[in-house]
Amino acid sequence: MTWLDNYMLVPMIALFITGGALALFKPSLRLIIVLAVQYIAVSWLTFMNLSVTGVFAKLITGFLVCVILYLAMRQIGEGPFPGDRQQISANISFRILALLLVSVASVSVARSNLFAQFDISLEANVGASFLIASSLLNLGLGIDHLRSGIGLLTLISGGELIYSFIEPSLAMIALLAMVHLGVVLVFSYIISVRARDGMSGNHIL
Amino acid sequence: MNASLIIFFFTAIYALLCLLLRHQRMASALVAATGAGSIAAFVLFVPLDEAFLFGEISIKFTREWIILGRMFSMSESVRPLIGFLYLAGAFLFPPAWVVRANRYFPSVGLLILATVAASLMVDPFVYAAAFIELAAMGAVFVLVTKQNPKSTGAFRMLILYTFAMFSILFTGSLLEVAGITSATPVLAQRVTFMLGFGFAILMTVPPFHLWMPRSADESDPYILVFILIILQSAGLFFLLRFLNSYIWLREQALIFDGIRIAGIMTTILAVVFAASQRDIKKLMVYALLIDLGVMLISIGSATQEGFRIALSLCAVRVIALGVLVLGLSFLSNPELRADKMRGVGYKLPFAAIAFLVGLLSIAGTPLTAGFPGRWSLLTVVLNTDRVAAGTVIFSMIGLGVLVIRWAAILFGRGDGEESIAMSRVPRDFLIGGIALLLLLGLFPQFAFPWVEKVASGLANLFL
């Protein structure tokens, strides 16, 4: 499937769109589809460097993450995360502005020689930098746990994308897949504990 | 048979047993302690790579286990470190029963120990960062529970550890691929910065400690202390192994200066924050940070004596913090604020004394377990770095004053000071803990054999 290498701009653009959507919109069940697309784009970008097995391992991990997240989020539906009452002033126009700023910053970081020692393609470098930057935006703006959780998953995807060029070994793919699944399991566990706590009316935050 | 595999297998078996026995807290805690103790004995004493007779059966345990092209090795340098972690677990699991910690704590705690042990065994050892991240994930399962459902602190920890993981992974790769030496100053500077960032998070150096006071608010203090002891020890061992492995790192004065300055800042900030606390759980967190700061100062002294002192402080803190949090677990129920704690010492005298003696030990008061380490550190840094020596003295005096303040609060006259009846077992645990701390103050050499074993494993640091 080397023909995919000729279309590396596609996943990079997809990362900008999905990363942007995850940072701009309120986390919901529908946004999990966006997260799934993000995982596909990340896997696509690693095609240049990883074996087909490795790429499929990443893809399957991504889908498992989305399924686990979907099952967890179904407990709270479209409603707010129990206990997350605090909100900070970050309306949509502010988010768009912040997203534009981090996009510019991430492109310039990717074009610098930060990882000059490693043979990382420009598309992957730009995509990963944007993912990391948008995840920081999510983590920074998100007082609510859902946004922070998705931000954390995006951060790991970004780091993993760069790292797959640095060390394309199967052991590392397996280890980072464990990290991905571990994070989503922890996140689902927190959702279920908080949802139960919210249902019993025992809010503490 | 493979030693690493045996450790993982038996840890999993004991964890499963604890899970099955979770409704019988005593049995679960004792199984976890026995399991951790037996694995520690295996790690520390069983000969590897040579056949020996067990009864009439000849057994040989090999050091190395290769999986997916990567190796888990029980080298001589990591054996005492893994043994220490399991011994710490064996010491901290039994009281979980008397403080009524979460039912899943013994089983999850054992799995966390195995994950941290994996981080020490894995080769190349930069992979350790990912295992420590997995251990942090495990920690969330016991920090956030049905009884303590708030999760902000635990989630902050997870985010910070993820940053640390990538920071150390990238650093490790730069070291492997780019061949960094002192002759490549720009790259060396970048790596030093990234490494410092990663280790500062792993060891909860301020400002990366922010999740701790929040978790103290939200989680069971006993579980929090267990997690902090294990994760900070893992961070410390990882740092020592990094320093042991890369000669250019050891040769950079900047590294040790940075560690020393981080230690000084941590200690001073923690003393100031501790002084302003009205919440006894947060006081515990800052006491733990003071201890960490002193350990960093001893590593920053860049001397063999300093490294030895850091290791012995690491050993002693398990006992001091264990006793402190054991007392605190009884005291912190149900009100935590200083204004509500007046006279609590009369109601729960043994718990209050255990808390205060634990705090005195962390302060390094004479006749407690913490004193010999701090005194030795003072003799090391007094002639080389007056600021560091002053900071250690400041921490001893500052925390000592805080002990007096909290003693005055706990034993101040309040309303209705009839003592709360405490059953024999918790009382015995508390008395035993206090006695142990005082005994170790009189006979501080208990940690020496372990420290020497670690020193012989890290041959480049301890030339």
Q: Which of B141, B149, B187 lies at the smallest CB-CB distance from A197? A: B149
User: Chain A partners of B162 at a C-beta cutoff of 8 Å?
Assistant: 152, 155-156, 159, 179, 183
Q: What is d(CA B300, CA A122) in angstroms, rounded to the nearest whole number?
A: 40
User: Chain A partners of B174 at a C-beta cutoff of 8 Å?
Assistant: 117
Q: Quick one: CA dihedral B309, B310, B313, B314, positive or negative?
A: negative
Query: Cβ–Cβ of B144/A178 closer than 8 Å?
Result: no
Q: What are the backbone angles phi and psi of residue B73, rounded to the nearest 5°?
A: -125, 130
**Cross-strand pairs, B58:** B53
Say how many CA atoms lie within 13 Å of B412 toward its Cβ.
Answer: 13
**Cross-strand pairs, B54:** B57
How does residue A4 score in pLDDT terms, banded at 50, 70 and 90?
A: low
Q: Chain A contact for B155, CB < 8 A?
A: yes
Q: Chain A contact for B137, CB < 8 A?
A: yes
pTM of structure: 0.91
Can you tell me the ipTM of this complex?
Answer: 0.88
Query: Cβ–Cβ of B158/A183 closer than 8 Å?
Result: yes
Q: Which of B130, B144, B163 lies at the smallest CB-CB distance from A190? A: B144
Sorted by where each begins, the domain ranges of chain A are 8-79+91-107+119-196
Query: Cβ–Cβ of B170/A166 closer than 8 Å?
Result: yes
Query: Cβ–Cβ of B68/A170 closer than 8 Å?
Result: yes
Q: Which of A83, A178, A189 lies at the smallest CB-CB distance from B134? A: A178
Q: Chain A contact for B2, CB < 8 A?
A: no
Q: Chain A contact for B38, CB < 8 A?
A: no
Residue of B173, B175, B193, B336 to mutate for A, most A C-beta atoms under 10 A: B173
> Could you count the other beta carbons within 10 Å of the beta carbon of residue B457?
19
- Residue appearing with tokens 């420590």: B132
Q: What pLDDT, on a 0 to 100 scale, did the predictor assign at position A205?
A: 33
Q: What pLDDT, on a 0 to 100 scale, did the predictor assign at position B182?
A: 67
How does residue A203 score in pLDDT terms, banded at 50, 70 and 90?
A: very low
Q: Chain A contact for B393, CB < 8 A?
A: no
pLDDT at A87 > cutoff 60? no
CA-based end-to-end distance of chain B: 33
Q: Which chain B residue is nearest to residue A115, measuring alpha carbons?
A: B174
Instruction: Calculate how close chain A gets to B152, using CA atoms only, in Å.
Output: 8
Instruction: Calculate how close chain B gets to A144, using CA atoms only, in Å.
Output: 10
- Verify cis geometry, omega within 30 degrees of 0, for the bond prior to B207: yes
What pairing do the DSSP bridges indicate for beta strands B52-54 and B70-73?
A: unpaired
Q: What pLDDT, on a 0 to 100 scale, did the predictor assign at position A200?
A: 47
Q: What pLDDT, on a 0 to 100 scale, did the predictor assign at position A202?
A: 38
User: Chain B partners of A191 at a C-beta cutoff of 8 Å?
Assistant: none
Which distant-in-sequence residues (6+ apart) come within 8 Å of B342 by Cβ?
B409, B410, B412, B413, B414
User: Chain A partners of B139 at a C-beta cutoff of 8 Å?
Assistant: none
Q: What are the backbone angles phi and psi of residue B64, rounded to the nearest 5°?
A: -105, 145
> Own/partner pairs for A24-31, CB < 8 Å, 24+ apart?
A24/A92, A24/A95, A24/A96, A24/A99, A27/A73, A27/A144, A27/A146, A27/A147, A27/A149, A27/A150, A28/A73, A28/A78, A29/A70, A29/A73, A29/A74, A29/A77, A29/A78, A31/A150
Q: What pLDDT, on a 0 to 100 scale, did the predictor assign at position A81?
A: 56
Q: What is d(CA A56, CA A69) in angstroms, rounded to the nearest whole number?
A: 20
Helix axis angle for B152-178 and B185-202, nearest 10°, is 150
More confident residue, A148 or A14: A14
User: What token pair was written down for B198?
Assistant: 């990663």
List, for residues B277-323, the tens digit of each pLDDT value.
Answer: 888 899 999 999 999 999 999 999 988 889 999 999 999 999 999 99
List, for residues B219-228, the tens digit of each pLDDT value.
Answer: 999 999 999 9
Query: Cβ–Cβ of A193/B165 closer than 8 Å?
Result: no
Chains A, B: CB contacts within 8 A come to 92
Contact B424, B297 (CB under 8 A): no
Instruction: Calculate how close chain B gets to A82, using CA atoms only, in Å.
Output: 10
Average pLDDT along chain B, 463 residues, taken 10 residues at a time: 91 96 93 96 89 81 84 89 94 92 95 95 85 95 90 92 92 77 75 88 92 92 95 91 83 87 95 91 94 94 90 92 93 63 83 94 92 91 89 95 92 69 84 91 79 76 70
What's CA B454's distance to the chain center, in Å? 16
List, for residues B320-376, the tens digit of each pLDDT value.
Answer: 999 999 999 988 765 545 567 778 888 888 999 999 999 999 999 999 999 999 999
Instruction: Calculate how close chain A gets to B311, using CA atoms only, in Å.
Output: 30
Q: Chain A contact for B140, CB < 8 A?
A: yes
Contacting B residues, span 199-238, partner chain A, CB-CB under 8 Å: 218
User: Chain A partners of B130 at a C-beta cutoff of 8 Å?
Assistant: 175-176, 178-179
Q: Which of A148, A166, A204 lies at the smallest CB-CB distance from B155? A: A148
Q: What is d(CA B432, CA B321) in angstroms, rounded to the nearest whole number?
A: 14
Q: Which of A83, A163, A170 lies at the smallest CB-CB distance from B169? A: A163
Measured CA distances, B287 to B294, B379, B402 (Å) = 11, 22, 10
Query: Cβ–Cβ of A169/B174 closer than 8 Å?
Result: no
Query: Where is average pLDDT lowest: A112-116, A174-178, B306-310?
Result: A112-116
User: Chain A partners of B137 at a C-beta cutoff of 8 Å?
Assistant: 179, 182-183, 185-186
Query: Cβ–Cβ of A186/B137 closer than 8 Å?
Result: yes
Residue of A135, A179, A184 to mutate for B, most B C-beta atoms under 10 A: A179
Q: What pLDDT, on a 0 to 100 scale, did the predictor assign at position B195?
A: 87
Q: Chain A contact for B459, CB < 8 A?
A: no
User: What token pair was written down for B353?
Assistant: 């004394």
Q: Which chain B residue is nearest to residue A197, measuring alpha carbons?
A: B149
Q: What pLDDT, on a 0 to 100 scale, did the predictor assign at position B193?
A: 86
> Once rounded to an integer, what is the mean pLDDT over residues A111-130?
82
User: Chain A partners of B150 at a C-beta cutoff of 8 Å?
Assistant: 83, 204-205
- Verify cis geometry, omega within 30 degrees of 0, for the bond prior to B334: yes
Instruction: Calculate how close chain A gets to B262, using CA atoms only, in Å.
Output: 25
